[in-house]
Amino acid sequence: MARTATLLVCLLLAITSVVSALDVHGRIQWNDLCPNFGALGASKVLLDAGRLSATVTQNGTFLMRDVVPGTYVLSVSSHDYIFDQLRLEVSDLDSPPKVWSYVLGTPLVSQSSVTLPYPVTFMARHKYKYFVPHESFNLMGMFQNPMMLIAVLTGVMMLGMPYLLKTLDPQMLEEVKDRHASLNGNSNSGQNGHKKSELSMLLNSDEEPKSSSVARLQAGTSPQPRNRSKANKRR
């Protein structure tokens, strides 16, 4: 008797769970981006990222069975296409589910004033780009590079400088040459003075340890003959 009672309770629970669940119908609407099932490929419609799933058939329809009352997020898992996500609300078995558009990251509690028709309809919005074609040679893009612009300007200045000097007056040209020579002389004199100061510092640094070592040697060797003379006298 106890076993039969438990079996009856289990059957009643199973029946009530099946009766309280709803089958959700929907389809994929073909467009220019995704015209047919051949372009779509094997895809699935997921409820709450895989809690329940339904396979998309060749005519674009799907059927998700045994959806209990609640609020869910419907999405399409496709290899090549991106679909909008929808919010599905199943309240009871007497009325069809309500469908709203859903933005990822927004709370499920907030409801939009615009509802979407039922059965659920998905449409491809974008296509994944797994391979980016290699860019061809672009001459304008090369000249937009700042380093290339600097190199071109430097070359133009080097080529145009002789012609610019020819257009100058002889007096102005002599002044430019004198200034250039004076600048070179100042730079050379500064470099020579710096080198001389470095050499003098090195020589001074070398002379200091030599003088100190000589003084130490003199201080160490001078008392030795005196001690020897005293020792000879004692003998």
Q: In sequence order, what are the residues at sequence separation of 6 or more whose Cβ sits closer than 8 angstroms to the Cβ of residue 158?
A: none
pLDDT at 137 over 60: yes
26 CB-contact burial (10 Å; exposed 0-12 / middle 13-18 / buried 19+): buried
Quick: pLDDT tens for 189-219.
555 555 556 556 655 655 555 455 545 555 5
CATH number, domain 21-127: 2.60.40.1120
The tens digit of pLDDT for each residue in 4-58 reads 555 555 555 544 444 567 899 999 999 999 999 999 999 999 999 888 999 999 9
- Give the mean pLDDT of 80-89: 92
Query: What is the Cα Rg of the chain in Å?
Result: 47
Between residues 156 and 183, which one has the greater pLDDT? 156
Selected residue with higher pLDDT from 34 and 142: 34
In the prediction, which pLDDT does 92 show?
Answer: 78
Q: How far apart are CA 170 and CA 85, in angstroms?
A: 80
Asked whether 25 and 63 are in contact (CB, 8 A), the reply is yes
SS3 83: strand
The pLDDT, as a whole number, for residue 15 is 47
Region of 70 on the Ramachandran plot (φ > 0 left; ψ -120 to 50 alpha; else beta):
left
